[in-house]
Amino acid sequence: MKRFDWNLLDAAGRMEALARPRRRTETRVTDTVRQIMDDVQARGGQAVTDWSVKLDGAPPRRLALTPEVVAEARAALAPADVRAIRMAAENVRIFHQATRPEDSQWVEITPGVRSRLVWRPLSTVGLYVPGGSAPLFSSLLMLAIPAEVAGVGRRVAVTPPSKSGQPHPAMIFAAAEAGLNDLWLVGGAQAIAALTFGAELEDGIILPCDKLYGPGNAWVAEAKKQASSRPGGPAVDMPAGPSELLVIADRRADPALAAADLLSQAEHDADAQVVLVCDSERMIDEILDEVDDQIATLPRADIARASLAEARAIRVPDLDTACAVSNAYGPEHLALQTEDAETRVDKITAAGAVFVGPYAAETLGDYAAGPSHVLPTDGGAKTLGGVTAASFMTSMSVQSVSEKGAAALAPVAARLARLEGLEAHARAADLRIEA
Options 168, 332, 362, 373, the catalytic residue: 332
Reference 266, options 221, 310, 226; nearest CA is 310
Measured between alpha carbons, how far is residue 405 from residues 41, 408, 431 in Å?
A: 50, 5, 13
Helix (H) or strand (E) holding 110: strand 107-110
On whether the CB atoms of residues 277 and 324 are closer than 8 A, the answer is no
Helix axes 301-308, 255-266, angle to 10 degrees: 100
Reference 197, options 48, 413, 14, 366; nearest CA is 48
Tell how strand 199-201 and strand 204-206 pair up. Answer: antiparallel
Q: How does 140-159 read in b/e, with b if 16+ C-beta sit within 10 Å?
A: bbbbbbbbbbbebeebbbbb
Query: What is d(CA 36, CA 42) in angstroms, rounded to the nearest whole number?
Result: 10
On whether the CB atoms of residues 389 and 101 are closer than 8 A, the answer is yes
Any catalytic annotation for residue 310? no
Options 96, 168, 268, 333, the catalytic residue: 333
Query: Which residues touch 226 (CB under 8 Å, ≥6 apart)?
Result: 33, 34, 37
Any catalytic annotation for residue 332? yes
On whether the CB atoms of residues 212 and 126 are closer than 8 A, the answer is yes
On whether the CB atoms of residues 384 and 102 are closer than 8 A, the answer is no
Q: Which residue intervals of 124-217 are DSSP H helices?
A: 137-150, 169-177, 188-197
Three-class secondary structure of residue 199 per DSSP = strand
Query: What is d(CA 196, CA 182) in angstroms, rounded to the nearest whole number?
Result: 19
Phi, psi of 265 (to 5 degrees): -95, -30
Three-class secondary structure of residue 185 per DSSP = strand
The sign of the dihedral angle between the CA atoms of 163, 168, 174, 180 is: positive
Which residues carry out catalysis?
332-333
